[in-house]
Every structure is written in C-alpha cells, then in structure tokens.
Amino acid sequence: MENLIEIKKQEHRLTKKGKETRSRIVAAAAKLMFERGVAGTSVEDVQREAKVSASQLYHYFKEKRELVLAVIVYQTECVLNAQEPLLSHLDSMEALQTWRDAIVQVQIERKCQGGCAIGSLVSELADTEPAARTELASAFVQWEHSIRRGLRAMHERGEMRADGDPDSLALALLAALQGGLLLTQVRRETSPLEAGLDAMIAHIRSFMV
C-alpha cells in the first residue's frame, strides 16, 4: 500500500477536474462507510454512489485501503470543521459550555444516529489496518490539541489553578465525548453524552481560580 504522504502528493498533482472527481469519490465512500461500516461498503458500491467508472475510481485509488485512509482524512476535516469556530477557542468556561451545547444539538438533530464519524471507524480498523490506525490516532490528536490549546490558554493566563493539568484534562474531555457519543448512539438519547460532558466540564471548572 502506498502511504498517506504519497497519496497526498498525488492529490496535489491533480487537475481541478481531477480533484473534483476524487473529492466526489471520497465523499461517497465516507457517506457509505458511515452508514454501513467499512466492511459493508464495497468499491463497487462507492463507484455507483459517486457515479464514476471502475477505471476512474482505480485511477485515484488503487485499492480499498487507500480509499479508507482518504475517508479518515475527509471525516476528520468534516468533524473538526463542523465544531469551528468554537473548537479553536475553548479558553473559557462559557466557550466550553457553548461547544458542549452545540455537540449535543448535533446529536439531537441526527436523532442520535451514527455516533462519531471518526470514532465509529475505530473498532473496524484499529487492530487490522495499521495505516488506518495511525491516521485515526492523528485525527484524535488534532482534536485533542484543539481542546488542549484552549485549556492551556486558561492555565497560562492564571485562570486555571497551577495544579490543574490542561493536557490531561483535554484528553479526559475527549474520552468523555467519545464515550458519550457511543452510548448516545446505542441508547438513541443524549443523556450519556450530556452526563459525560457535564461531569468533565464541572471537573475542569473545579480548577478555575
């Protein structure tokens, strides 16, 4: 399998029309894999959904593995962009609360279906596809670092007590968010997500001066 850097280089060399076709393929694959899982989505399904020929799809993605990596990159952009501009400015308790409300609201609008578009790829890929696991880890690191930046800012400004550890709190908040989304998908109601985020935000608040 060609690695992700190679894939990204190839993407860079594409014409405008080529980029559009490639994007259409990735968006179609992401949609189907989100709905049916990776194993439940064949390359032929993606071809039909994206309305491209087999040779067109093969031109961009030599095998399903490459398509899966592109889907992880795509979903990471979608998930993180959807939380902007809130995610980049989680440096006050008000901002954390607004972000929390927005995340819960998305689940209500989705009728609590689908879970996290990144997190839901983990169980299928993490232990069987090393390149996918690396890419998923990188997705979560981006997410964690966005949260961490806000908490670190509060810490540096002296709004968070010196004994508060913004890095550990950011990771804990992401864990509560992921588990909350998973349980919300199972239960079809947002109470696990709300309980997880509210408890973690209250814990962060306990470090504020």
By beta-carbon proximity to its own copies, the closer residue of 89 and 133 is: 133
Task: Please tell me the total number of residues recorded for the chain in this structure.
Answer: 209
H or E segment at 172?
helix 166-187
Fill in the per-residue mask, 150 to 169: x = in contact with its own copies (CB under 8 A), - = not in contact. ------------------xx
Among 120, 147, 150, 151, binds its own copies (CB under 8 A): 120
Angstrom distance (rounded) from CA 167 to CA 151: 8
In whole angstroms, the minimum distance from the beta carbon of 164 to its own copies comes to 11
31 makes contact with its own copies (CB under 8 A): no
Angstrom distance (rounded) from CA 114 to CA 35: 7
Task: Please report, as residue ranges, which positions from 43 to 82 form the binding site for its own copies (by CB under 8 A).
Answer: none
Angstrom distance (rounded) from CA 141 to CA 137: 6
Cβ pair 22, 60 in contact under 8 A = yes
- What is the amino acid identity at position 131? A
In whole angstroms, the minimum distance from the beta carbon of 181 to its own copies comes to 8
The residues that touch its own copies, with contacts defined as CB under 8 A, are: 35-37, 39-40, 113-115, 119-124, 126-128, 133, 136-137, 140, 168-169, 171-183, 185-188, 191-193, 195-196, 198-200, 202-203, 206
